[in-house]
Structure 1
């Protein structure tokens, strides 16, 4: 047996203590979100645990422990002179303000689903059977929408669509748009709000998500211009769309090439397929960083099992990278594939026949 380097061992254990603290704190983030504790602190007013408990309507002893843990994580600020807790403006943007471009709480709901569904993934590892999106715990669906929505709010209308040749002008004049794999409809609704002359269609094979999207569209006042319908990426109605968009979902599909072929048949002659995918380099070594760590983890527990549960089961994974995505488009019969823009978390591709 090889002898360990004790300095390296100590360093690794130190990192693990930090990672363990992050994992434990993640549970407390979802707890605070569900109870409304963060929202009750959003205005930054310093308060004691008793004052916060009274404001939210829960028991003080639990709140005291929760606040102490959040302060230790530096997710909540503490003043030992006054023995009061508060959220800084930055902390409020991350934990309390749902429409903030930095809102992060939804990510912890996604992680919650990974813990809950771990026994199912154990079985998938042993059998190779995969695990469908619909087979996950419900917190995944809500968490995914809440995690991705801030990025869409920040970039979709202001950066991503303008980066596609001629698309913004079409949408402003009046175009037909299909949002495939729309989930709870956050991206569809955002586009409908920005382009009132256009008509939108949202498709997802997961019926509960479609029902939630319909309710969200009604709440947003755009239900008259959006049709949400249960359909897969290979059988949604082909209607000569000017734009077909797929947001962070192509890599989850078992047969992305087949989906691409169906998109080609569904587009108008000069239509565009917009693919938004998690940011990734083409080589593994270049993805060994904090963002890659998150995406590979999510891909292990969610994305790859989803693909392997379907026909073909290509298993692109959440870190597919530009070269593999380009191959999917070329295999589907497209001649034009261009990276239009990117953020630290996403890549946006323009694909045309």
Structure 2
């Protein structure tokens, strides 16, 4: 993790403090897309080094059969792609693969397209403005969600759409903040950081969307497993973890 990025993220988020306060009073929530640009930039600065260090070296190899599919030219959907860091990393590591990134935030998608062009992978990475419940395409070998499922107002509907978009032998890679299923399991330095981010960013964002869910950053494995099962996935396992992330595999 690049900790200075966390400070950029935090300072950007604090600019919305009066509006977050009002969102707590009304229960209306506060959308991610309404935050200061430093929130988007800081989030990528904070998480991208973790993806760089782990996505290709350890997370992809931990999944069943996925690395070979990517090497052979798999089709990938990166849902909630943000500024496209994860999509670009996958494209750079697997030159035969094609990646479709999606995010509901227009500004992030504009930057993601710019980043892909600068990295020289724009011919194999495309981006669209779409929610996790409406992204386009089908028959994907791999669908990825990086640190975003817990932010969604209707993660179950998103999971169902992902299930429909996957090939019969496809894989859903779910990367979520490191969390336990109980309060006491999260009483540690990382948990304290994530509880703060969850209360200020994640839960208000989920409440701003249709669906009625508010998982928050400290959802733990149990709620994620339940969403996958309710969406029709028959296989679910935690494949690996870091101090900041839990990594899960769900398959039809």
In 2, distance between residues paired with 1:235 and 1:278? 24
Q: Aligned pair 1:245/2:144, yes or no?
A: yes
Q: Secondary structure at the match of 1:311?
A: coil
Task: Find the structure with the greater CA-based Rg.
Answer: 1
| Residue equivalent to 2:85 | 186
Q: Which has the higher contact order (CA 8 A, sep 6+)?
A: 2
Distance 1:276 1:132 in 2: 21
What is the deviation of 1:313?
Answer: 2.6
Residue 332 of structure 1, CA deviation: 0.9
Partner of 2:210: 311
Is the contact made by 1:253 and 1:313 (CA closer than 8 Å) also made in structure 2?
no
Q: State the superposition RMSD in angstroms.
A: 0.8
Q: Deviations over 1:74-106 (max 9, x none)?
A: xxxxxxxxxxxxxxxxxxxxxxxxxxxx53221
Deviation at 1:238, TM superposition (A): 2.7
TM-score by length of 2: 0.99
Aligned equivalent of 1:216 = 115
Is the Cα contact below 8 Å between 1:238 and 1:267 reproduced in 2? Answer: no
1:289 to 164, 169, 188: 188
- Deviation string 1:157-202 (CA, Å, 9 cap, x unpaired) is 0000000000000001110000000000000000000000110100
Match of 1:346 in 2: 245
Question: Are the equivalent residues in 2 in contact too, given 1:257–1:332 (CA < 8 A)?
Answer: yes
The correspondence of residues 13-162 of structure 1 with structure 2, limited to 5 A, is: 102-162=1-61
Which ranges in structure 1 are unaligned for 5 or more consecutive residues?
Answer: 1-101
Task: Count residues in correspondence.
Answer: 252
Which ranges in structure 2 are unaligned for 5 or more consecutive residues? none
Runs of 4+ in structure 1 over 6 Å off: none
Give CA deviations for 1:2-26 in whole Å, capped at 9, x if unaligned: xxxxxxxxxxxxxxxxxxxxxxxxx
- Aligned partners of 2:2 and 2:47 also within 8 Å: no
The TM-score with structure 1 as length reference comes to 0.71
